């Protein structure tokens, strides 16, 4: 029985590798542990495979000028780049810089909103990937009360 | 397992905006109890949304996403009466899936 299960698992992984399984049947994606544990901006860029991203007006990062509560900072990222494949949110002075990565399949608009925690006033980056290249928008958000306190 | 997600949809032509409110503590592992003990990390790591077997969004999250996470996204090709399904998996391996009918 044990044997069969292993064979089945092997078959599943082969099918997934060959692209035979519909999305969602296999584990959609692995959580990028190294990137989420990263504490330095340049190190994180390397882990994300982003050489030197380029600042672009086609990426918009919308958020408050001043966040009274660092535990809940509403952000919206909208990319006007054609074929935007993913959007990442980076918070420079958080204990771990990377807050989230959103993968945008075709048919989904590169326009997402979420809420993040910010430890202190710092730059927030929206990093968009399009056509294999990285582009970013940056905005400084002032935090009056940190979101990571005890 | 957590509480059900609140999912709201707004259809405009064939583009639907999906707004999701999840119920999750999103513990960073950096907070302490009043007794000074660290509260262990516990946060949603993977999120995915699907519409008719088509993945319309997938995301990886860190602990910096706020407690009771909010997510909004938009996709094309949606029709009224069809369903959108959202799932998450957290750092303890717990998961939850909810769906909503597009209105």
* CB-CB neighbours of A44 under 10 Å: 23
The CA distances from residue A33 to A81, A117, A127, B65, B77, in Å, are 28, 19, 18, 16, 33
What's the CA gap between A47 and A31, in Å, rounded? 13
Report the phi/psi class of residue A19: left, alpha or beta, with left for phi > 0 and alpha for psi in -120 to 50: left
Query: Chain B interface residues facing chain A, Cβ-Cβ under 8 Å?
Result: 15, 26, 28, 30-32, 45-46, 48, 50, 53-67, 69-77
Residue range A64-118, pLDDT digits in tens: 999 989 999 999 999 999 999 999 999 999 999 999 999 999 999 999 999 999 9
Taking a C-beta distance cutoff of 8 angstroms, is the pair A130, A81 a contact?
Answer: yes
pLDDT digits (tens, 9 = 90+) for B5-40: 999 999 999 999 999 999 999 999 999 999 999 999
Would you say B97 and B87 are in contact if contact means Cβ atoms under 8 Å apart? yes
- Chain A, chain B: beta-carbon pairs less than 8 Å apart: 117
Phi, psi of A96 (to 5 degrees): -120, 125
Please report the pLDDT score of residue A145 as a whole number: 74
Asked whether the beta carbons of residue A31 and residue B45 sit closer than 8 angstroms, the reply is yes
**Pick from B80, B14, B13, B74: nearest CA to B49:** B74
pLDDT of A51 reads: 73
Q: Which two tokens stand for residue A99?
A: 């807050």
CA pair distance A82, A31, nearest whole angstrom: 26
What ipTM score was computed for the predicted complex, to two decimals?
A: 0.95
* B45: pLDDT strictly greater than 50: yes
* pTM for the whole structure: 0.86
d(C-alpha B91, C-alpha B40), whole Å:
11
């Amino acid at each position: 029985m044990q044997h069969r299960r292993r064979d089945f698992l092997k078959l599943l992984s082969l099918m997934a590798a060959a692209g035979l399984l519909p999305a969602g049947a296999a584990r959609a994606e692995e959580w990028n542990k190294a990137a989420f544990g990263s504490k330095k901006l340049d190190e994180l860029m390397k882990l994300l495979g982003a050489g030197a991203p380029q600042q672009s007006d086609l990426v918009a990062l919308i958020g408050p000028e001043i966040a009274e509560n660092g535990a809940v900072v509403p952000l919206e990222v909208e990319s006007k780049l054609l074929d935007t494949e993913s959007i990442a949110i980076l918070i420079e002075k958080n204990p771990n810089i990377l807050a989230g990565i959103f993968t945008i399949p075709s048919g989904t608009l590169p326009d997402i909103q979420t809420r993040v925690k910010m430890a202190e006033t710092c730059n927030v980056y929206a990093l968009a990937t399009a056509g294999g290249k990285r582009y970013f928008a940056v905005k400084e958000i002032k935090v009056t009360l940190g979101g990571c306190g005890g | 397992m957590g509480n059900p997600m609140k999912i709201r949809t707004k259809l405009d032509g064939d583009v639907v905006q999906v707004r999701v409110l999840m119920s999750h503590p999103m513990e960073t592992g950096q907070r302490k109890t009043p007794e000074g003990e660290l509260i262990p990390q516990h946060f949603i790591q993977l999120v995915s949304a699907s519409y008719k077997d088509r993945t319309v969004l997938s995301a990886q999250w860190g602990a910096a996403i706020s407690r009771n996470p909010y997510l909004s996204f938009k996709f094309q090709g949606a029709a009224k009466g069809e369903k959108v399904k959202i799932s998450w998996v957290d750092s303890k391996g717990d998961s939850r899936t909810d769906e909503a009918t597009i209105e």
